[in-house]
A and B are shown apart, each in its own frame.
Chain A
Amino acid sequence: NAGVTQTPKFQVLKTGQSMTLQCAQDMNHNSMYWYRQDPGMGLRLIYYSASEGTTDKGEVPNGYNVSRLNKREFSLRLESAAPSQTSVYFCAGSSGGSTDTQYFGPGTRLTVL
């Protein structure tokens, strides 16, 4: 099993460009999450999907959109990238309960110039 995979690993964008970060899991997780990690800030939740076909905003959703394409895949889209979106982005999955372990992907390091 690959677990939780993310593509790409690294990306450099210019201000105003768009891109989609891909996340896939083969662990049969019901819930999936997108976090961003910034120095000294810990991880902050951007969006989550409690089940296939549903998505909800987290703590920092502005400037992002998500799609839960199917049970396996959960993508994060930046429509018009800004330097403030320079960050490391992590996708995670879990069975869905509040006690359940979240399994994290390796991350995507995004730089917006």
Chain B
Amino acid sequence: AQSVTQLGSHVSVSEGALVLLRCNYSSSVPPYLFWYVQYPNQGLQLLLKYTTGATLVKGINGFEAEFKKSETSFHLTKPSAHMSDAAEYFCAVSEQGGADGLTFGKGTHLIIQP
């Protein structure tokens, strides 16, 4: 069985500061990893994903994440926060060979202070 843990239900950073959202996973097989973002009253949209190859993955809006197998982590970062980054962020995992949906973390609400 697979699971995802996101540390911190709320993270607050100042505009221009580094954004770091933490995600750790548990999986019996090498996983595929995703970060989704949800803006208020909207559906989810993909920020980035790791499948195979380079472990540092770049996504939209200046976000990136690094897959670290030894730490079972896939933390999301952005060098400089913008007010428009305020949203809910979800880390998710799917297993190789499975087409049976994603397992999501509980989400992290990112607050940007002016």
Measured between beta carbons, the chain A residues less than 8 angstroms from B9 are: 40
B92-108 vs A, CB cutoff 8 Å, 1 = contact: the mask equals 00111111111111110
For A, the interface residue count at a CB cutoff of 8 angstroms equals: 27
Residue among A40, A43, A90, A101 making CB contact with B46, cutoff 8 Å: A101
For B, the interface residue count at a CB cutoff of 8 angstroms equals: 27
Measured between beta carbons, the chain A residues less than 8 angstroms from B44 are: 43, 90, 92, 102, 104
Chain A, residue nearest B52 (CB): A99
Residue among A50, A99, A106 making CB contact with B100, cutoff 8 Å: A50
Measured between beta carbons, the chain B residues less than 8 angstroms from A33 are: 101
- Cβ B106 vs Cβ A101 within 8 A: no
Q: Assuming A98-B32, A99-B51, is B99 touching A31 (CB within 8 A)?
A: yes
- Cβ B99 vs Cβ A50 within 8 A: yes
Measured between beta carbons, the chain A residues less than 8 angstroms from B100 are: 45, 48, 50, 56, 58
Q: Assuming A98-B99, A99-B51, is B43 touching A104 (CB within 8 A)?
A: yes
User: What's the Cα separation between A100 and B54 when bound, in Å?
Assistant: 17
A1-22 vs B, CB cutoff 8 Å, 1 = contact: the mask equals 0001000000000000000000
Decide if A42 is an interface residue (CB 8 Å cutoff).
yes
Q: Assuming A41-B106, A44-B104, A101-B49, is B99 touching A96 (CB within 8 A)?
A: yes
User: What's the Cα separation between A41 and B90 when bound, in Å?
Assistant: 11
Measured between beta carbons, the chain A residues less than 8 angstroms from B97 are: 98
- CB B105 to nearest CB in A, in angstroms, measures 6
- Cβ B104 vs Cβ A43 within 8 A: yes
Interface residues of A (CB under 8 A from B): 4, 31, 33, 35, 40-45, 48, 50, 56, 58-59, 90, 92, 96-99, 101-102, 104-107
27 A-B pairs within 8 Å (CB atoms) are namely A31-B99, A33-B101, A35-B104, A40-B9, A41-B106, A42-B105, A42-B106, A43-B102, A45-B101, A45-B102, A45-B103, A48-B100, A50-B99, A59-B103, A90-B44, A92-B44, A96-B99, A97-B99, A98-B32, A98-B98, A99-B32, A99-B51, A101-B46, A101-B49, A102-B102, A104-B44, A104-B45
